[in-house]
Amino acid sequence: MTAPALALDGVAVDRAEVPVVHEVTLDAAPGAVTVILGANGAGKTTLMDGIAGLAPVRSGTIRLDGKAIERLAPYKRARAGLGYVEQARTTFRTLTVEQNLVVSQQGDGDLGTVYRLFPELEKRRTLQAGYLSGGEQQMVVLGRALVSAPKVVLIDEMSLGLAPLVVRRLMATVGELAGMGIAVVLIEQFANLALDVGSRAHVLRKGRVVFSGPCGELRGDERRLHRLYFGGPPVSAAEAGGAGAAESGLR
């Protein structure tokens, strides 16, 4: 059995000294997409920030490629092989596309791989990032994580504010990252799009994991997702069988 690239054991994370994430245990395998779902305020981004070192881990262990990182500074986690694509799509707006990528390049990170995944960026490599569309800026941020030669990439809500066609384009790239052997941990507002590309899912509610299992168990099951997000009685077999397969907009 392949060892996980990222493993969390009993992780609790605070935000502004307030406990938000409680006793989370999960792992992410290399070459696979691990999906984290939950309603707004469930603690998803706080969990990601805790893994990346941007929020304090109160207890528990985080192992990257078998090595504990929960006490390392964020830049040391990045150097150890952790990439983080945050919500805000932050680029260096006055730098060109290629300059944005080069500042993050390290180790075996290859600009050619980024341009293969995103030929749109190669055509705009000399253009300042501030002139790019939202979708293109997201490609830059994903590319910047890729050229840091990561073992694990955390992706938080990359679809925010983007057209559905662009989201589908980016989601296909997430699958390609996994195909390169990278462990991807994905938070996504469009649950079923994420479940389509993922292999294993975890649902957070009030900072705790309330579901862990194959993505196929949740795909298209709107009633079950809603109850996992917000609480309520278990879903009956009849209800589960009648659930629609429309794309979920649950957050």
Concatenating the DSSP letter of every residue in 96-148 gives BHHHHHHTT--TT--HHHHHHH-HHHHHTTTSBGGGS-HHHHHHHHHHHHHTT
Q: Among candidates 158, 140, 136, which has minimal Cα distance to 91? A: 140
pLDDT category at 12 given cuts 50, 70, 90 is very high
The rounded distance, in Å, linking the Cα atoms of 3 and 147 is 23
The tokens of 169 are what?
A: 């384009």
Arithmetic mean of pLDDT over the chain? 89
Whole-angstrom distance between the N-terminal and C-terminal Cα of the chain?
33
Region of 13 (left: φ > 0; alpha: ψ -120 to 50; beta: rest) is: beta
- Domain residues of the chain, as ranges? 1-81+150-164+173-251, 89-149
In terms of Cβ atoms closer than 10 Å to its own Cβ (0-12, 13-18, 19+), residue 195 is buried
Fold of the domain spanning 1-81+150-164+173-251: Rossmann fold (3.40.50)
pLDDT tens for residues 94-145?
Answer: 999 999 999 877 665 689 999 999 999 999 999 999 999 999 999 999 999 8
List Cβ neighbours of 7 (8 Å cut-off, separation of 6 or more).
26, 27, 28, 61, 62, 63
Task: Give the pLDDT of residue 2.
Answer: 75
The model scores a pTM over 0.85: yes
